[in-house]
Amino acid sequence: MKNLIYSLVLSLVAKFAFGGTPPNYKVTQIPNPPSKFGTKQIDGLDFLPDGRMVVCLPSGEIFFYDPKTSGWQLFAEGLHNPLGVIAESNSSLVISQRPEVTRVSDTDGDGKADFHQVMTDEFGMSGNYHEFHFTPVKDKEGNYFFSLGTGSSGDGIRPIVRGKFDSRGRPGRMHSSTPFRGCVMKLTKDGETIPWSYGHRTPNGLGFDLEGNLFVTDNQGDWVGSSKLFHVKEGRFYGHAASLTWKPGFEGAPLEADPKELAKMRTRAAVVFPHGSMANSPTQVLAISPDARFGPFTGQLLVGEMNTNRIVRVMLEQVGGELQGACVPFIDGGALARGCNRMAWAPDGSLYVGHTKHTWAGGEGISRVEWDGEDPFEAISMKLTKTGFRFSFTKPVDSKLAGEVANWPFKRYYYKYHKTYGSPQIDVTPVKVRSVEVSKDGKVVDLHLEELRAWHIHEVNIKGLKSTDGTALANSYFAYTLNRLLENTPPDPLHASGTFQKKRSSFGKPAKIIDRRGKVYQVTDAKLNGVRTSNSHDGYTGTGYADFDKGNESIEWDIKSVRDGQGEILIRYALGADARPLNLIVNGEKHSVLPFPGTGGWSTWKEMAARIELQEGGNSIVLVTNGASGGNIDHLQFIEPKSD
């Protein structure tokens, strides 16, 4: 097993090997905070006005670090999975923890938090493990923004939820059954909490650029063909369907909508990170500020990457009224740990990076990245022209090497928009470079391509380029998300696929009970443990049916028998998948495993029969999940034991 894991890690590293950290940047490690739980993962990081660093740990502990003394101080503990922090002052923090945005303060000056204020908890929680609450950020007007992850089908939801439960948002690999999972939220300076944008899956990283534009990353998965960076604007939908449950004006169940119609609604990503080569799990967005001492890249964005030891640099431009642009590996490999989750600028202009993993690929600890003051040989920008792309470099290029068209092997492709997990690269096409022009000073290279195709990613891995002093290009792999051309952009082809059921109501139609052989016990008459009722498919006979998810879930009926003896139960169910067995428990003892084979569709109902020994009076009949999910259960009919 160890050899297999090692091989997988080597394979992942090999896929990402397109350069490395420029030699002008040094990475060192900071001592870990003295967590009493031994936690070394960092889920929030910022700097106080006095120069100390604050970090949040998944253990719920908050520590301060003094770079002058390398000393740590515990400030607060007992928080629930904090995933981001803003230092308001030397004694007051704003923290995103799972149930709320919290202000944590030291009011008596003893260096320990003694006051916790709920700033907002106006969003839903179903108890699903994947409902993360990410990264608070604050704009120049004093408004806060935070983001809410969707729930996972790998876990169930609890019998009691916070906020309204809406069954329309429950189906899917990643779901939004309570408000406002899958949204970026705004907490106004006046205290109002509102959903700001929709269509996010796992938005682990908010951040502003220097102009005040808000950005968020999202991770590959269902509806997200490859990981992305979005320019967030009020009211927009960014592609993941589940949160449409909470968008005003959207009718029906999101997963029953036509993917092409959803594609028409969505706003395209400003940057798509090619999966397996650029970034698999992007995290925080951080602008390179004028106060950062980090080279000639002021105003550009840095984006962390969880799955490998990489920080990506993003170069944006406005085309056709929307932002789009290129990404390139920047701080890459070497001493930088994996799991680059949270980043902040220290007062001395160096970059501090907090690492985490949360049981996925990642790392732990804190890295510090320093620049030595000498410009690395890198591309400062990649910009779209009418005929191709213009690269600007920090140093004059070797004109002979730059002038070889073979050293610029472009290709283009796109990712599908569909509810399936991820997407392969589609329509992968080499793009020929017709000619290359190098400026007189050698710092600008214009590439004229045979064709530019809107709504495609254009990728190049520059071969063998050096500066005039013989320095090799530090990072050579670039991916430009070309949504719009400078002129004559064709309509968005949508790139959507998938089927839907036309004229589908968001609620199924109930059916009459035809078989009256025994007394009918609806699921609404039962005690549900973790199971939710739904009514999105046709043919149920009460007000809804029980919808099993994964996890330890059960339905328990209390039925009355007039005599002892052997009776019969008929369980009406629908299952549009392969068999999903359930355990049958009668009066506290396991009776059998009922096979529940597929019925051919979620609106095709059949019966599962079982003969059971009953006692006079009350009897407990329980269906329990058998290590996986179950079908949809409509009702149970009970046929009394025969009299002697």
pLDDT at position 508, please? 59
Within 13 A of 435's CA, how many CA atoms are on the CB side? 3
Residues 589, 597: Cα–Cα separation, whole Å: 23
pLDDT at position 343, please? 98
Q: What is the mean pLDDT of residues 368-396?
A: 98
Confidence of residue 538 (pLDDT cuts 50, 70, 90): confident
pLDDT at position 505, please? 40
Write out pLDDT tens, residues 41-63.
Answer: 999 999 999 999 999 999 999 99
% of residues, the chain, pLDDT over 90? 79
| Max CA pair span of the chain | 106
pLDDT at position 302, please? 98
Structure tokens belonging to residue 497: 């696929």
Give, for 524, the enclosing helix (H) or strand (E): none
Which of residues 140 and 544 earns the better pLDDT score?
140
Q: What is the mean pLDDT of residues 208-224?
A: 97
% of residues, the chain, pLDDT over 70? 94
Please check the confidence at residue 158 and state whether its pLDDT lies above 90: no
Q: Apex CA 374: angle with CA 372 and CA 380, to 5°?
A: 115
pLDDT at position 510, please? 64
Write out pLDDT tens, residues 274-321.
Answer: 999 999 999 999 999 999 999 999 999 999 999 999 999 999 999 999
pLDDT at position 576, please? 87
Strand partners, 58: none
Question: Cis bond leading into 180, ω under 30°?
Answer: yes
Residues 470, 169: Cα–Cα separation, whole Å: 57
pLDDT at position 502, please? 47
Confidence of residue 157 (pLDDT cuts 50, 70, 90): confident
Confidence of residue 542 (pLDDT cuts 50, 70, 90): confident
Residue ranges matching CATH 2.120.10.30 in the chain: 2-158+165-375
pLDDT at position 240, please? 98
Q: What is the mean pLDDT of residues 219-227?
A: 97
pLDDT at position 532, please? 81
Which is it for the CA torsion 435, 440, 441, 444, positive or negative? Answer: negative
User: Which segment, 12-16, 160-164, 171-175, 227-231, is predicted with the most confidence on average?
Assistant: 227-231
Phi-psi region at 146: left, alpha or beta (left = phi > 0; alpha = psi -120 to 50): beta
pLDDT at position 503, please? 42
**C-alpha distances out from residue 73 to 55, 67, 195, Å:** 11, 12, 36
Q: Which of 328-332, 429-433, 547-551, 565-569 has the lowest mean pLDDT?
A: 547-551
Residue ranges matching CATH 2.60.120.260 in the chain: 519-639
| Beta carbons within 10 angstroms of residue 435's beta carbon | 12
Is the domain spanning 519-639 CATH 2.60.40.10? The answer is no
CB 494 within 8 A of CB 260: yes
pLDDT at position 550, please? 65
SS (H, E, C) 3-31: HHHHHHHHHHHHHCCCECCCCCEEEEEEC
pTM: 0.79
| Beta carbons within 10 angstroms of residue 29's beta carbon | 13
pLDDT at position 6, please? 34
Please check the confidence at residue 12 and state whether its pLDDT lies above 60: no
CATH pick for 2-158+165-375 out of 3.40.1160.10, 1.10.287.3510, 2.120.10.30, 3.40.50.150: 2.120.10.30
Average pLDDT over all residues of the chain: 92
Confidence of residue 517 (pLDDT cuts 50, 70, 90): low
Write out pLDDT tens, residues 165-187.
Answer: 998 998 889 999 999 999 999 99
Secondary structure (DSSP) of 356-382: --TTSS---EEEEEEE-SSPPS-EEEE
CATH pick for 384-482 out of 2.40.10.120, 3.40.50.300, 2.40.50.140, 2.60.40.1220: 2.60.40.1220
pLDDT at position 89, please? 98
Phi first, then psi: give them for residue 287, nearest 5 degrees: -80, 145
Confidence of residue 515 (pLDDT cuts 50, 70, 90): low
Please check the confidence at residue 640 and state whether its pLDDT lies above 90: no
Please check the confidence at residue 1 and state whether its pLDDT lies above 50: no
pLDDT at position 2, please? 34
Write out pLDDT tens, residues 348-370.
Answer: 999 999 999 987 788 999 999 99
**In the block, residue with structure tokens 């430009």:** 480
